Amino acid sequence: MLLLPRIDDDLAAKAQAAGCSYCGGRLDVADFPRRPLGVGGDGIEDNYVSRRSFCCAVEGCRRRCTPPSVRFLGRKVYVGALVVLATALQHGPSKQSVTKLSALLGISRRTLVRWRRWWSTMFATSRFWTSLRGRFVPAVDAATLPASLLTRVTPVDDEPPLVTLLRLLAPISTRPHLEASAS
Ligand SMILES: [Zn+2]
């Protein structure tokens, strides 16, 4: 899991180096406090208490710039890796392992069901998915997202496929969220 904060640091450093997207001004650190929803597993939350964000230093602009994040996906503060992993597992392995996973992460079955619905409705019909799915031939099965997508990503070096997938999904962690295009 420590890999994810490191990737987020890279994404944040890149955004800060680029400067304010409105005026090109210097960006100062102005992180957001965050409280992940629906997650109560021990030790997981420590990596999710804040999200990297910047504020333009130029008087009269002062706009906020929040870089993409592999840990925070979508409008709601979901814990990226867990959302992908938990919903992916829901399609494959037995009911028993889903129950075990729920218990381990402190996520209720209801939360899992809600996440799964998000993938099959909001995500599957989004502009983001439309811009991404064309890269996969043959097509990724939309009905079994994100499990189907997880099996199709091409990992860079030795990184886990889950990390590759999160990097691919990072654009939807910023505005305009699911309206974003795949990078
Ligand atoms: Zn600015």
**What pLDDT digit, counting tens, does each position of 16-60 carry?**
999 999 999 999 999 888 766 555 555 556 667 788 899 999 999
pLDDT digits (tens, 9 = 90+) for 139-179: 999 888 888 898 899 888 888 888 888 888 888 888 778 88
Instruction: Kindly give the distance from the C-alpha atom of residue 170 to the centroid of ligand 1, in angstroms, as a whole number.
Output: 23
Specify the pTM: 0.75
Instruction: Kindly give the distance from the C-alpha atom of residue 19 to the centroid of ligand 1, in angstroms, as a whole number.
Output: 8
CA–CA distance from 120 to each of 1, 9, 38, 139 (Å)? 26, 30, 19, 15
Over its C-alpha atoms, the chain yields an Rg (Å, rounded) of 17
Instruction: Kindly give the distance from the C-alpha atom of residue 161 to the centroid of ligand 1, in angstroms, as a whole number.
Output: 36
Single-letter residue type at 181 = S
